[in-house]
């Protein structure tokens, strides 16, 4: 059963809770409810799974002295037209208690307010007693909606009122959403209010209706609404970016009590609270970052590191400095933080003056200092990931990613550290997009912002290369597989995050840069022995987790169970895009890929390229354009050792070739001596394909999937 999760928040005192619940119920279902009796739907949607008769979203932002009150709510009135919709809405899950994490502190414990009622086809209304029927399971409340039937109308709301203290500036989480839903919507309204000291950034995109201001009696208060009707359902297929293409809205509210807090705000604010900011200009970008970044930091640790070293080029030197600072101000402290979280040993106290870069700002300022002192030209790149839409539609500061572009002969793009960041590549969501370059004068002051196009990577940059050797067991019950996987470019990033644990790279850095592990800082012999045992226990526990996770990841890749899994990390790939992540695996596949056929055997050899995308009938009727993460290619080299006394038949089905301007799949199979060798390559050429090219993509995707279904016959001589 698919669950509908509602994580709702409301802070209401016990003494007034029942009364407030009645007011909230009246707010949604009271005398002014225009949709109380709405039950009919247009004929054009009668074959849909469900139709949303009315969708209402409500937000309100107010202050009371040092207190701020944030209210959010949603109501949906939905007609259920088939059993799938009945199942979808037959269970709700929610949390009924919470403490606010906003501002300085919360003003009390919160309780959620939820209302659910069923309107039967006869018009009879059945209100669900949420408090009586909800059961607590795993710190959540769950409620089953009994007697829900096809043709019923489900009308529900949730309401959240969250008070907290804030005497400084505070930015609420942005709201970004398509206008439409997974079901067609007859009527939709978004409504919210603010007052003085609350700044609003709001705009709609891709043909969505505009926000309208509603007059109020109080000049310090403001009300707004967005209304839409007759909204077709949204499709959310694979490889699609809804905010880039569907009618949608984006908004953020920022609270700032005075001008000094406005200047400190992490937001592109309008000049006055009563003005809704709809666009962010190049000048806004410049003004925001003009004072944001300044060269800052001591370079002594870098200067000491560089003594006696020589480099063939500035690029080589900057790469080395980047990886060194990644360790000195980032990975050097990861072990200490993990140990501190898991034990009573506050490991960070072992460092006399730890400097840890916790943000883009500290990273950028430090590298500005280095580049300024070394008279190296650079720009600050301000971009937004492509899933947010174009930089031309930038509205919310939190959607910005900042890079440094070092203008060497071959430009280098430096981004805020992760354990795996590279000086040769940057966030793939920014590749091949428009951005702003903040030009810096004399290495220290932003003087202008200009438009730039960020470079792209290619399918030759982002490659996985898998070499597998499969041996059939003596009793033909399974396969033993030795596999080496190498990942380059962006393809290695998710693999590094998935496969590498802190001890895989932290100790690599300790050795490379001749720094010390946490335990080496402990001087007391007894403490060193005790903490050493605790750290060993942490590492052993994490290695067990890594082992299980690695095995599961490999089994998921193939979509069948594996046994006796072993692995070795051969290269972490953390020092440049040309340095791959490489690991080896040994594992067994039992009673799965080999079937007896008389005195012969069928081997499902195609499955050894791992599971492939299967495009079902529904997906083939795609209406949306296609957005790839990045161009990429996947190479497989598979060797099957042919058992003595057998030959291989059926190679013709393993030779395929489908290529076009969107990508391709090519495979070949040959036999040399007692070895069957199979080579395959699948590749995606572009970041984007128009919907008109979808059928071309299906051609090579289907060819790759069909390959996984192919078998070879081992014939007895």
pLDDT digits (tens, 9 = 90+) for 171-198: 899 999 999 999 999 999 999 999 999 9
Length of the chain equals: 717
For residue 161, the cross-strand partners are 71
Do residues 624 and 235 make contact, with C-beta atoms less than 8 angstroms apart?
yes
According to DSSP, residue 398 is labeled G
Give, for 709, the enclosing helix (H) or strand (E): none
C-alpha angle with apex 139: 133 to 141, nearest 5 degrees? 20
Mean pLDDT by 10 residues, the chain (717 residues): 33 46 93 95 97 96 86 95 94 65 52 88 91 80 89 94 78 93 97 93 96 92 96 93 95 86 85 93 90 90 96 95 96 93 85 87 94 94 95 94 94 95 94 94 80 96 97 95 97 95 97 94 91 93 97 95 97 94 97 92 96 93 94 98 96 97 98 97 98 97 97 95
Distance from C-alpha of 608 to C-alpha of 514, rounded to nearest angstrom: 42
C-alpha angle with apex 407: 406 to 411, nearest 5 degrees? 80
Q: At what angle do helices 360-373 and 314-328 cross, to 10 degrees?
A: 140
For residue 678, the cross-strand partners are 638, 669
| φ and ψ at residue 712, rounded to 5 degrees | -120, 155
How buried is 237 (Cβ within 10 angstroms: 0-12 exposed, 13-18 middle, 19+ buried)?
middle
**Got the DSSP string for 501-537?**
-HHHHHHHHHHHHT---GGGG--SHHHHHHHHHHHHH
What is the per-residue pLDDT across 5-42, written as a single tens digit (0 to 9) for each?
Answer: 333 333 333 334 456 889 999 999 999 999 999 999 99
Nearest Cα to 419, choosing from 581, 270, 596?
581
Distance from C-alpha of 687 to C-alpha of 666, rounded to nearest angstrom: 21
Pairing outcome for strands 185-195 and 221-231: antiparallel
pTM over 0.85: yes
Pairing outcome for strands 50-64 and 185-195: parallel
Distances (CA, A) of 453 to 199, 383, 487, 505: 31, 10, 27, 33
Give, for 88, the enclosing helix (H) or strand (E): helix 83-88
Distance from C-alpha of 429 to C-alpha of 454, rounded to nearest angstrom: 11
Radius of gyration of the chain (CA): 30
Do residues 214 and 224 make contact, with C-beta atoms less than 8 angstroms apart?
yes
| φ and ψ at residue 4, rounded to 5 degrees | -105, 110
Q: Which ranges of 621-663 would DSSP assign to H, the alpha helix? A: none
What pLDDT was estimated at residue 668? 98
What pLDDT was estimated at residue 132? 85
What pLDDT was estimated at residue 245? 92
| φ and ψ at residue 346, rounded to 5 degrees | -80, 85
Query: What does the block give as tokens for 450?
Result: 């200009």
According to DSSP, residue 285 is labeled H
Query: What does the block give as tokens for 676?
Result: 């069957």
CA dihedral 271, 277, 280, 284 (to 10 degrees): 10
Distance from C-alpha of 195 to C-alpha of 255, rounded to nearest angstrom: 10
Do residues 80 and 53 make contact, with C-beta atoms less than 8 angstroms apart?
no
Distance from C-alpha of 294 to C-alpha of 297, rounded to nearest angstrom: 10
Do residues 28 and 75 make contact, with C-beta atoms less than 8 angstroms apart?
yes
Do residues 414 and 317 make contact, with C-beta atoms less than 8 angstroms apart?
no
Ramachandran sector of residue 87 (left: φ over 0; alpha: ψ -120 to 50; beta: rest):
alpha
């Amino acid at each position: 059963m698919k669950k509908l999760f509602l994580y709702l928040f409301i802070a209401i005192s016990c003494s007034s809770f029942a009364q407030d619940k009645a007011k909230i119920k009246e707010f949604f279902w009271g005398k002014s409810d225009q949709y109380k009796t709405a039950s009919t739907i247009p004929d054009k949607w009668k074959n849909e799974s469900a139709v949303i008769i009315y969708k209402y979203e409500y937000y309100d932002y107010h202050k009371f002295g040092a207190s701020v009150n944030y209210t959010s709510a949603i109501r949906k009135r939905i007609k259920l037209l088939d059993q799938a919709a009945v199942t979808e809405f037959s269970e709700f899950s929610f949390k009924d208690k919470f403490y606010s994490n906003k501002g300085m502190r919360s003003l009390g414990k919160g309780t959620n307010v939820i209302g659910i009622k069923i309107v039967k086809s006869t018009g009879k209304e059945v209100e669900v007693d949420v408090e009586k029927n909800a059961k607590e399971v795993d710190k959540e409340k769950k409620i089953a909606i009994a007697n829900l039937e096809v043709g019923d109308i489900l009308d529900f709301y949730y309401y959240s009122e969250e008070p907290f203290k804030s005497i400084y500036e505070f930015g609420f989480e942005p709201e970004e959403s398509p206008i439409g839903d997974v079901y067609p919507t007859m009527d939709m309204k978004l409504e919210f209010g603010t007052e003085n000291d609350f700044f609003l950034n709001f705009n709609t995109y891709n043909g969505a209706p505009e926000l309208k201001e509603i007059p109020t009696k109080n000049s310090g208060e403001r009300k707004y609404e967005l209304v839409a009707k007759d909204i077709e359902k949204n499709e959310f297929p694979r490889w699609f970016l809804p905010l880039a293409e569907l009618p949608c809205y984006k908004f953020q509210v920022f609270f700032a009590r005075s001008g000094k807090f406005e200047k400190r705000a992490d937001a592109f604010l309008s000049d006055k609270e009563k003005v809704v900011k709809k666009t962010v200009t190049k000048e806004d970008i410049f003004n925001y970052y003009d004072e944001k970044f300044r060269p800052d930091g001591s370079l002594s640790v870098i200067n000491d590191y560089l003594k006696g070293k020589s480099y063939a080029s500035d690029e080589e030197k900057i790469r080395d400095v980047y990886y060194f600072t990644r360790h000195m101000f980032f990975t050097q402290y990861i072990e200490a933080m993990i140990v501190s979280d898991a034990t009573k040993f506050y490991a960070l106290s072992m460092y006399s003056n730890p400097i840890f870069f916790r943000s883009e700002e500290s990273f950028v300022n430090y590298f500005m200092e280095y580049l300024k002192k070394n008279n190296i030209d650079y720009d600050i790149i301000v971009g937004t990931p492509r899933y947010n839409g174009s930089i031309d539609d930038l509205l919310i500061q939190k959607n910005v990613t900042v890079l440094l572009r070092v203008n060497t002969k071959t430009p280098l793009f430096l981004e805020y550290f992760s354990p795996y960041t590279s000086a040769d590549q940057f966030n793939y969501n920014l590749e091949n997009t428009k951005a702003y370059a903040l030009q810096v004068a004399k290495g220290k002051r932003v003087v202008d912002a200009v438009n730039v196009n960020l470079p792209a990577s290619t399918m030759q940059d982002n490659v996985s290369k898998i070499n597998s050797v499969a041996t059939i067991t003596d009793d033909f019950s399974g396969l033993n597989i030795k596999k080496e996987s190498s990942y380059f470019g962006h393809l290695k990033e998710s693999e590094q995050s998935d496969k590498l644990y802190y001890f895989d790279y932290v100790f690599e850095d300790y050795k490379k840069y001749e720094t010390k592990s946490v335990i080496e800082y402990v001087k007391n012999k007894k403490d060193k022995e005790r903490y050493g045992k605790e750290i060993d226990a942490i590492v052993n526990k994490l290695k067990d987790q890594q082992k299980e996770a690695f095995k599961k990841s490999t089994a998921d890749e193939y979509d069948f169970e594996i046994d006796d899994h072993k692995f070795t990390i051969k290269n972490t790939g953390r020092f440049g895009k040309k340095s791959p992540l490489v690991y080896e695996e040994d594992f067994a596949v039992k009673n799965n890929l080999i079937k007896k056929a008389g005195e012969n055997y069928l081997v499902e050899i195609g499955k050894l390229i791992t599971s492939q995308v299967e495009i079902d009938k529904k997906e083939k009727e795609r209406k949306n354009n296609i957005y790839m993460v990045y161009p990429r290619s996947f190479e497989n080299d598979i060797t099957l050792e042919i058992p003595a006394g057998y030959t291989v038949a059926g190679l013709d089905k393993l030779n395929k070739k489908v290529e076009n301007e969107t990508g391709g799949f090519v495979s070949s199979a040959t036999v040399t001596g007692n070895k069957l060798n199979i080579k395959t390559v699948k590749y995606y050429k572009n970041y984007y394909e128009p919907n008109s090219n979808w059928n071309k993509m299906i051609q090579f995707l289907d060819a790759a999937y069909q390959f996984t279904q192919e078998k070879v016959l081992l014939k007895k001589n």
